[in-house]
Structure 1
Amino acid sequence: MNKIFEIPLYTYARNPDQDAVAPIRHKVIVIGAGPIGLATAIDLAQQGVEVVVLDENDKVSFGSRAICFSQRTLDIADRLGCAEPLVRKGVLWDTGKVFFDTRQIYEFNLQPEQGYANPAFINLQQYHLEQILVDRLRALQAEGAPIDIRGRNRVEAIGTHEDHVTLEVETPEGPYNIEADWLIACDGAHSPARRMLGLDFDGRVFEDNFLIADVVMEADFPSERWFWFDPPFNRGQSALLHKQPDNVWRIDLQLGWDIDKEREKRPENVIPRLKEMLGEDVEFDLEWVSIYTFQCRRMERFRYGRVLFAGDSAHQVSPFGARGANSGVQDSDNLCWKLKLVIDGKAPDYLLDSYSHERVQAADENIACSSRSTDFITPKSQMSRLLRDAVLDLGEHYEFARPLVNSGRLSTPCTYAGSSLNSADALNGPDITRPGAACPDAPLGAAFLLPKLAGKFTLLTIDADAPDTLEEDGVQATRLALSVKDDPTLALKRRYLGDATSAVYLIRPDQHVAARRDTYEENAFRQAIRRATGKE
C-alpha cells in the first residue's frame, strides 16, 4: 500500500483564533482541502487575498479517485505555479481506443495538432495532485502569502448574514467560532456545508454500479485510454483501462443494477474478475477498490449570498469523460478573479452572480454530455442495446458512424455563450475564440501564448495598434502585441485571426475572451471592460 495515504500534510496545531475572546473575521474561508479547495486557496493567495482553509482531515485522499486531468486544467495549474510537477509526475496521453467484444473499432487522437505547451491529458492519482498542491501552498506561505491551512478543523455549523458568514469549528481541543467575509464550500459530493444550509441537488441518479480497482502491476500496455463494450471478460457490460504513475493501473468494470456493494468490494470477489480480464498468470496487487453509481446532478445555483459552492459540492457527473475534477478546477478559475475584484471594490456584487450563471451553464453542459455517455454505455432496453451495438459495428468500418460512438466525451472547457460579461462580436474570426471561449494556446517562438494572458485583463493585439494600457473605472488592461510573423506554424493565425488580417481581443484574467474586434476602438473596449466586470 502506498504510504502517502498515511502521512499528515497539515497536522493539527492550535491557532490564535481558538483563544480569541470574540470570533476573528477572515476575508475568505475555504471548506475542504481537496483539489478544488486547494486550487481556490492558492489562486486567492497569489492575488494577495487572505484565505483560511479548513478540513476535517489532515492527509491526502485515500485511493486514486480523480485521475484524468485535461489540458485546460494544466493551463490553469501553470498559472497557479504547479503545472510542471504535475506533468513531470503524470502519465501523458492523447490516444484512446474503443473495443467491441474482442475487436478494436477505432482509435482517436485528442491532440492531432501541435502548438500547445501542455499535453491533451495526463493521468495522475488524486493523492499526488493534492500533495503537489499542498507543496505549492507551503511555498506561498514561505514567501509570506496570506494563506493558512488547518487540519482536523471540522465545520459543524454555518450562519449566514448580510455582510459575513459565521462558522462553528470542532477541533481535537474543542470548538471555536470564526467568521468570514466570504465562504467557499469545496467539501465534496456529500457537502456538509450544503446540508447545513438546507440546500440540495437536482438531477438524475443512474441505477448501474461500477467497480473501480487500482491495481499495481508490471504491464506492457501503452499509455492510452482503452474502453470495451461487451468484452468477453465482462460479458454484457463495459470496461475501462488507464495507466497511472508508479505502475498503478485504473480498471473500471460495469457490474449492473442489483448488487451487494460490500460483497463486491471484497478481494476474494474482485481478484477473480481482474484475473479474467488480465489473465490468470498476471501478478498484481490491489491498492484501492470502490463501487460507484452514476449521478448527474447540480445545485439550483452556486451562490447563496456570501456562500459560494465549487466542485463536487455544487455539481456531480459520471466519471466517464473526466468532467468532475476538471470542471471543479474551472469553477475555481472562474470565481477567484471575480471575488478579488469585488473585495477590492473594483466590481459590483453582481459579478459574483455571473460566477453562478456561467458555471451553471458549464455544469449543464457537462451533465448533458455525461448523461448521453451513460445512456450509450448502459442501454436501458433491448431496443437501445441493439441500436447501440449497430452503431459500434458500423463504426468499425465507416468514419461517419464513429462520432456516434460514446464511451465518454472527454472534458473540454465551456464557452460561456450568452454570458452578460461578453461584448458583441465584431470580428469575423474563428469560432474557437469567439466571446466567452477559453483561449487556446499558440507557440510564440520558444515560449507560448497562455502564460502571457494569465491573471490579468489583457488587450491582445495581432497585427493591430492599441495603447500599452487601458484603464476603465479602476480596472486596467495591459497590451500584448503580437504578429502572425511571430509564429511560423501559423497556429496563432488559425486560432485567433482566421480570414481576418488583424484582431484586438479583450481577455479576462481566467483566459476567456470578453470581446474581439478587427481593430482597436477605445470606446468599444472601455465598454467591454465595464461589461466584463459586471458594470453594464
Structure 2
Amino acid sequence: MPRYRSPVFPFVRPPELDGRAGRRWPVAIVGAGPVGLAAAIDLALAGIASVVIDESNVVSTGSRAICWSKRTLEIFDRLGVGDRMVAKGVTWKVGRLFHRDREVYAFDLLPEPGHKRPAFINLQQYYVEEYLIDRARDFPDLIELRFMSRVTGAGQDPDRAWVDVETPEGKYRLAADYVIACDGVRSTVRRSLGLDFIGRAFEERFLITDVEMAAEFPSERWFWFEPPFHDGQSALLHKQPDNIYRIDLQLGSGADPEEERRPERVIPRIRAMVGERPFEVDWISVYSFQCRRLARFVHDRVIFAGDSAHIVSPFGARGGNGGIQDVDNLCWKLAAILKGEGPPALLETYNTERVHGADENILNSARATSFMTPKSRMERLFRDEVLALASTHPFARQLVNSGRLSRPCSLLGFSLGTEDTSGLGGMMVPGAPCLDAPVRGANGEDGWLLDHLGGSFIALGFGALPPTLLGVRRLTVGASGDLRDPQGLLAARYDGAPGVVYLIRPDQHVAARFREPTAAEISRALARAQGSSNA
C-alpha cells in the first residue's frame, strides 16, 4: 500500500464549455509534471501568463524521477521551491560501485566546499509536483491549472497554436500564441503533429521497486555489477524520504513486464537483496532503455520539452534533470519574444542548445547501457577487466560506467555567446553555467552568488561598477560593492581581478566576459545574447 497520499485537485469548469470566448493565452502548457509546472512558474516570474492542462487530478504515482542534481536544485531555487525540496529530500554526494561481493571504489561528486546546494538529493517526483503546484498557486493572475482535462489533439496556424481538450463536462478548443508540450514519452501533442523519435531502443528490461523499510543503509548511491543476490545482472539502491528505498534490478531482454510486476515475483527478489528485515512494497514498474529524441524541439509555435522531446535511461538521473534544464533554457527566451524584447529567431537557439544537451545525455546513457549490459563475450571481458583494475588503478575508474550522473552541458561556441578574448582563466567561459560561491551582502548578511543571479541579464563586475546598459542589472563585488567575497572563492572561480566583468544570461549562464570593457563592448555582447542578427 503506497505511503504517500496525493492531494486531489478539483475540476473547474472552463468558460469555453459555456460558449464564452476563452482568453487567448500567451502560452498553453500540456502536462502538469515537474517540467510543465516549472515552465509555468518560470514564465510567471517573467510576467507571462499560461494555462496548464493535465488529464489527472492527482500528482504522479510512484517515486519515478527521484535524483535531482545540484544544477537542477539551483534552478528550483530560482523558481522558489529549492528550500522545500532540500528540506524534505535525502542529500547525498557519495556513490559506491560493487562487482559481485567486492567494493570496487567510491566517488565523491562534490569534493569542494563553498556551494549552497549538494551534489544531489533524492526526492520522489510526487513531492516535487506537489511543491510546484503549491508554488504555481502563488501566481493566480498568471497561472491557471486545469485538471481532469485531457488533450486529444493539437495543431497550429501561422498566427496561433491550439489544443483540443476533453473534460468530464464536455470538449473545447483552446488557442494560445505558443504551446509547450510537456506531456511525456507518449505525447499526444507529438503524435498530433506526426512526429516521432530518432535513436535507439534497447531490449534489456529493468524492474523498479519502491520499498518501505527501516534499514541502516547510508545516504549514498550503491550500484552492483553481477551482485551475489541477483546473479549475472545489475542492481541499484537509493535511499528516499519516508524510509522508502528505490531498488532497480536488471531483468534481461526476455523478461515479461506483466509477469515481473506480480508481487510473488518481486518480493523474493527484494528479499534476496535486503535479507530478513521487514519491508513493504510501495510501487512497482518495469521499463526498458531508450535513448531517443525528436529531430527538432521547436516546430513553429509548438515547442517540446522534457520526455516529450527526448528520453534516456534512468541510470545517470538525466531525464528529470534534463527536462528542468530545458525549461531553464526556454522560458526566458519565450518571455522575451512575447514581450517584444527578442526576435522570434531567439527560439531557434532553444532548439540548438537543448538538442545539444539531449545528445550529450543520450551519448552518456547509451554508453552506460553498453557497459552495464555487454552484448558479446569481448564486451563482457572488457567490462570485467576494467572493474578488476578500478579497485587499485584510478585511471580505470574513468572507464567504469554505471550511469554517468547528470551534469549541465556547456554552451561554449553557440551563437548567443561572445568569443572569449579576455585571457581570463578558470571554468567560467562563455556558455558555462555559473558556479556558486559564498558572498556577503552590503548589509553584512551572508548568502550565495546564485541567489543574486538569474531572471534578467546581469553585469557582474569585480572592483568597479560595470557600465550602465538598458535592460541589464549591475552587481559589483568588492569592499564597497553590492557583494563581498569573504572566502575568496568567488574571485578564484571567476578569475575575478579588479576590472573583470561578466555578462550573465537570465538562465545563469555566462554570455561574455571581459577585462575593463567599454559600454559598447558589453552592448554588443548583450545584443548577441538576445539573439540580434546585427550583433
TM-score bracket relative to the smaller structure: over 0.9
Identity of aligned residues (%): 53
Map 1:92-241 → 2, pairs under 5 A: 92-141=91-140, 145-241=141-237
Which residue identity is paired with 1:165?
Answer: A
Give the match for residue 452 of structure 1: 452
Residues in 2 aligned to 1:425 and 1:464: alpha-carbon distance in whole angstroms: 21
1:114–1:502 Cα change, 3 Å: farther
How far apart are the structure 2 equivalents of 1:502 and 1:95?
39
Following superposition, the deviation at residue 430 of structure 1 comes to: 3.7
Tell me the distance in 2 between the aligned counterparts of 1:377 and 1:519. Answer: 50
Given that 1:426 and 1:518 are in contact with CA atoms closer than 8 Å, whether structure 2 keeps it comes out as no
Q: C-alpha distance in 1, partners of 2:424/2:478?
A: 16
1:375-433 residue CA offsets vs partner (Å, 9 max, x unmatched):
11111111101111100000011112111111111111111122110111122234521
Give the letter for the 1:163 counterpart.
D
Q: Deviations over 1:149-204 (max 9, x none)?
A: 00011111212111101222110001012110110000001111100110010001
Work out whether 1:77 is the aligned partner of 2:101: no
Which residue of structure 2 lines up, in the alignment, with residue 496 of structure 1? Answer: 494
Provide the C-alpha distance between the structure 2 equivalents of 1:385 and 1:3, rounded to a whole number of angstroms: 40
2:292 is the counterpart of 1:297 = yes
Distance 1:511 1:316 in 2: 25
Give, as a single letter, the amino acid of the residue that structure 2 aligns with 1:426.
Answer: T
SS in 1 for 2:138: helix
Measured at CA, do residues 204 and 5 of structure 1 come closer, stay the same or move farther in structure 2, by a change above 3 Å? farther
Is the Cα contact below 8 Å between 1:422 and 1:515 reproduced in 2?
yes
Q: CA deviation at 1:5?
A: 4.6
Task: Give the aligned partner of residue 513 of structure 2.
Answer: 516
Checking the alignment, whether the CA contact within 8 Å between 1:165 and 1:180 is kept in structure 2 is: yes
Aligned equivalents of 2:492, 2:386: Cα separation in 1: 33
Distance 1:297 1:515 in 2: 32
* Structure (1 or 2) with the greater helix fraction: 1
2:49 equivalent in structure 1: 50
Alpha-carbon distance in structure 1 between the residues aligned to 2:427 and 2:373: 32
Distance 2:22 2:43 in 1: 22
Which residue identity is paired with 1:224? E
- Output the CA distance in 2 between the equivalents of 1:157 and 1:221: 47
Contact 1:464 1:519 in 2 (8 A): no
Q: For the Cα contact (< 8 Å) 1:464–1:520, is it kept in 2?
A: no
TM value normalised by structure 2: 0.96
Give a deviation string over 1:282-332, Cα, whole Å, max 9, x none. Answer: 110000000111100000111001010000000001111100000100100
SS at match of 1:433: coil
User: Which deviations, in whole Å up to 9, do the C-alpha atoms of 1:107-135 show, x marking residues without a partner?
Assistant: 11111101111111000000011111111
**Contact (CA 8 Å) 1:5, 1:60: kept in 2 or not?**
no
Equivalent residues of 2:465, 2:475 under 8 A apart: no
Q: Show the counterpart of 1:360.
A: 355
Equivalent-residue separation in structure 2 for 1:343 and 1:125 (angstroms): 34
Q: Root-mean-square deviation (CA), in Å?
A: 1.4
**Structure 1 gap segments, 5+ residues each:** none
- Cα contact 2:53–2:149 (8 A) shared by 1: yes
Q: Does 1:432 align with 2:427?
A: yes
- State the secondary structure of the residue aligned to 1:220: coil
Q: Which residue of 1 aligns with 2:393?
A: 398
Aligned length: 525
Match of 2:443 in 1: none
Q: Which residue in the other structure is 1:34 paired with?
A: 33
Q: Within 1, Cα distance between the matches of 2:186 and 2:488?
A: 47
Residue 384 (1) aligns with residue 379 (2): yes
User: Residue 232 of structure 1: SS of its match in structure 2?
Assistant: coil
Aligned partner letter, 1:328 = G
